Structure 1
Amino acid sequence: MHGQKASLLAGRGVEFAGAAIEDLLKKNPNLTIEKDGLVFFQTEGDMTITIRVVDELGKLSLRTVYEANGVKNDRVHDEYSRLIKNLDIEGGPGLAGALADWIDSDDEPRLYGAESADYRAAYNKPYTPANAYLESVDDLLMIKGYDPEIFRLISPLVSAYNTGGLVNINTAPEEALMALSDDMTGELAKKIKGARASSPFRNTSDLMKVSGF
């Protein structure tokens, strides 16, 4: 019964958060969601749940780094590799290669990657690559090289649900902005965040008005 009550409360919490966001947008059409998201609380009786709403499009896409056939999307791959480098995470090529082998449909390990034999032998894992897209960011923890510390650094900045591969400049955290280009410095990313706080970007022309472009 307790589990059923929690499930019902969670469902109502989603409805509550949706209504709250709609109300906020009426008051402020230029509402933006920062890295930590929008937080709402829903209480019913002796139970309270916390609802955090984040924009998955403000994160780098794990869905489009590689196609299902293993073909690399150069732009998104470069963004992902740049993110790993900017976070001072060692073994960037290995992380990208292991992610590709997890997604692609073959069983041939690429350079720095890992396929079925690697998981069974070297890593003593009771499973093999899914040969499918990640269902959630948590799946990274099953992939070669993604230990809890690396996951802690990467997970807030990447999404398994961003299927288009583009990043929403109006909600992307500073680290994600810096991964978009080698020319995107920390200073420029801060300027973008400051500019969008008062007036969200509507198009590329608006973005180009930021000092530093």
Structure 2
Amino acid sequence: MTRHEETGAALLSVLLLVAVMAVIAATALDRLTLATRIAGSAATVDQGRAYAFAAEQIALRRVGELVRRDPAKLTLAGDWLGRDFTLPLPGGTGRARLADANNCFNLNSLAAETAPGRLSQRSGAIAQFGELMVLLGIDRGEALGIAGAAADWIDSDGNDGPLGAEDGVYRSMQTSYLPANRKMADPSELRAVRGVTPKIYARLRPWICVLPVADPVRLNVNTLAPEQAPLIAMLMPGQIAIGDARAALAARPAGGYGSSVRFWEASSLARLDPGDIAEQTGVTSRWLALTVNVTMGDGFLTAESLIDANGGAPAAGQAAPAIVRRDWGESD
């Protein structure tokens, strides 16, 4: 090999080494950038969660004030329902909103807890859920099938109820699975129930909820909006017209109804004899929902919390309100 060839080979080796080092340096820099971004995102999420926790404490104090003002009645006084409250955050923005979590169909009401962990179907609630679906424009046959299947999904036994579905039905599906046979933890579980299509679920989602209790639905007629009249009409299947329920809600006094009896005495409902159904309406609310949205730079965080206004006590005003459930991220 000539001296000129040796010089060329050495130069080629140096260039190859420089290229390899450049690739290594670029890879290391890229990983460092990614690690920095991940660390920054984690810090933003942690800060956002801290702000969400602070918003919860503010909301708990606000709910406590509402309860202390009148433990026997919760009304729209104070313009608190569905209103966005701005949170003054350094380096970001935040919004918090309270909603009445009583005013929905609690899917867990489809079964009664007859003993700890033992759930039995509640026929009245099944009929009400079916009626709600019919009022929302869902075919009656589909509605009754979904209501029965949802009750079977929750109840403890493995026996098919009327129009229901248990293990055998779900095992025979192309993608087989089993019903939970316990209380639902999130409304999205309804999507796994036989007969619930994406279209039906989307229609139902604004009207349903999941509370940590299997008690019958109890609506607050002092916070229900006239647009939520189907929730009243479902209580007595086939007997209450949506227009009559809407009129009773629209006729609500400025200070709210003093009792559920006064509500049923409204002119549009006076012809009815609600009987025990009257107990499914009230003038106070145990459950409230808090939604907090925090924005920090490019980061965005949503927290949804369920507040027990009774704080676990039998009645309002006996204990401080408490957070009983918290979910991170937007609901479906």
TM range (shorter): 0.7 to 0.9
Amino acid at match of 1:202: G
Amino acid at match of 1:133: K
Instruction: Tell me by how many angstroms 1:84 deviates.
Output: 0.9
Aligned length: 211
Q: Distance in 2 between matches of 1:153 and 1:88?
A: 9
Relative to structure 1, the CA distance from residue 195 to residue 70 in structure 2 (aligned partners, 3 Å threshold; closer, same or farther) is: same
Matches within 5 A, 1:201-212: 201-212=257-268
Q: Distance in 2 between matches of 1:105 and 1:61?
A: 18
Relative to structure 1, the CA distance from residue 187 to residue 122 in structure 2 (aligned partners, 3 Å threshold; closer, same or farther) is: same
- In structure 1, which of residues 92, 109, 130 is the aligned counterpart of residue 160 of structure 2? 109
Query: Quick check: 2:133–2:143 contact (8 Å CA) kept in 1?
Result: yes
Instruction: Tell me by how many angstroms 1:26 deviates.
Output: 8.5
Relative to structure 1, the CA distance from residue 41 to residue 150 in structure 2 (aligned partners, 3 Å threshold; closer, same or farther) is: farther
Q: Distance in 1 between matches of 2:201 and 2:122?
A: 22
Relative to structure 1, the CA distance from residue 25 to residue 102 in structure 2 (aligned partners, 3 Å threshold; closer, same or farther) is: closer
Instruction: Tell me by how many angstroms 1:8 deviates.
Output: 1.0
User: 1:169 aligns to what?
Assistant: 221
Unpaired runs of 5+ residues, structure 2, are 1-42, 271-332
1:14-41 per-position Cα deviation (integer Å, ceiling 9, x unaligned):
222334455678899863299x834333
Relative to structure 1, the CA distance from residue 32 to residue 5 in structure 2 (aligned partners, 3 Å threshold; closer, same or farther) is: same
- In structure 2, which of residues 167, 177, 187 is the aligned counterpart of residue 137 of structure 1? 187
Query: Quick check: 1:39–1:51 contact (8 Å CA) kept in 2?
Result: yes
Matches within 5 A, 1:163-202: 163-165=214-216, 166-172=218-224, 173-181=228-236, 182-196=238-252, 198-202=254-258
Amino acid at match of 2:164: G
Q: Distance in 2 between matches of 1:176 and 1:115?
A: 28
Q: Distance in 2 between matches of 1:174 and 1:75?
A: 19
- Which structure has the larger Rg over C-alpha atoms? 2
User: 1:156 aligns to what?
Assistant: 206
User: 1:31 aligns to what?
Assistant: 75
Unpaired runs of 5+ residues, structure 1, are none
Query: Quick check: 1:61–1:160 contact (8 Å CA) kept in 2?
Result: yes
Percent identity for Structure 1 against Structure 2: 21
Q: Distance in 2 between matches of 1:133 and 1:30?
A: 28
Query: Quick check: 2:144–2:163 contact (8 Å CA) kept in 1?
Result: yes
Given the two structures, how large is their TM-score scaled by the length of structure 2?
0.55
SS at match of 1:53: strand
User: 2:85 aligns to what?
Assistant: 40
User: 2:60 aligns to what?
Assistant: 18
SS at match of 2:190: helix
Q: Distance in 2 between matches of 1:81 and 1:54?
A: 25
User: 2:131 aligns to what?
Assistant: 82
The structure in which a higher percent of residues are strand is 2
RMSD over equivalenced CA pairs, Å: 3.0
1:134-166 per-position Cα deviation (integer Å, ceiling 9, x unaligned):
112222122222223222222222232164312
SS at match of 1:54: strand
Comparing 165-174 with 63-72, which one deviates more in the overlay? 63-72
Given the two structures, how large is their TM-score scaled by the length of structure 1?
0.82
Query: Quick check: 1:17–1:40 contact (8 Å CA) kept in 2?
Result: no
